[in-house]
Amino acid sequence: MASRRLLLLLFLGPLLVVTACFAAARPCYTPEQAGEHAGKEICLSAHVYDVVENADGTRFLDVCKPGTPDESCRFTVVSLAVDRKEVGALDTVREQDVHLRGTVQTLRGQSIMLLSDARQFHGGPEKFRPNPELMRGFSAGSEGLAFKDPAMLGHKPRATSAFTGSATTLATGSAASH
């Protein structure tokens, strides 16, 4: 029995130390502090006072104390209608303390965090959204590049292989002249 405890301690001890180190390396910020980290992915620690939904389905987690005028509230969490399925019901977080992972963005002088997937409540990443500017004019049926790479303009793609022989050359082992 004592050997099991020792084995368990030897196994779990380093795991707990590593977990504590990673937890300490990524602090969670309050809504007041989060605005200072625009453009960065952070952990947000906030109390959700209310969940407000617009007519278009956009939902907001109100993290400002009751009675704070909207113009004085410098941070909010936004969940778009298109993300409703991935985010799920938000009424369950009303009057709860939450931890969210996401990128702080600035919109009209206010800092926001986009809540696009429920996994953000558990340290997971936001939903990936490809940049539509990179895909402009691309068709899967075309042989062109999916984006405009300045290095490729006016040039045909080069073969990246050092060997440019034919399949016959590979099968017979003889060299072909080009």
What are the Cα distances from residue 23, in Å, to 58, 70, 81? 32, 33, 32
Task: Tell me which of 3.40.50.620, 2.40.50.140, 3.90.1170.40, 1.10.10.10 is the CATH number of domain 26-126.
Answer: 2.40.50.140
3-state SS class at 9: helix
What is the full per-residue pLDDT of the chain (178 aa) written as tens digits? 556 554 445 555 554 444 444 444 579 999 999 989 999 999 999 999 999 999 999 999 999 999 888 888 889 999 999 999 999 999 999 999 999 999 999 988 889 999 999 999 999 888 877 677 766 666 667 666 666 666 666 655 555 545 444 444 444 455 444 4
The residue ranges of every structural domain in the chain are 26-126
pTM: 0.60
CB 53, CB 59: distance < 8 Å: yes
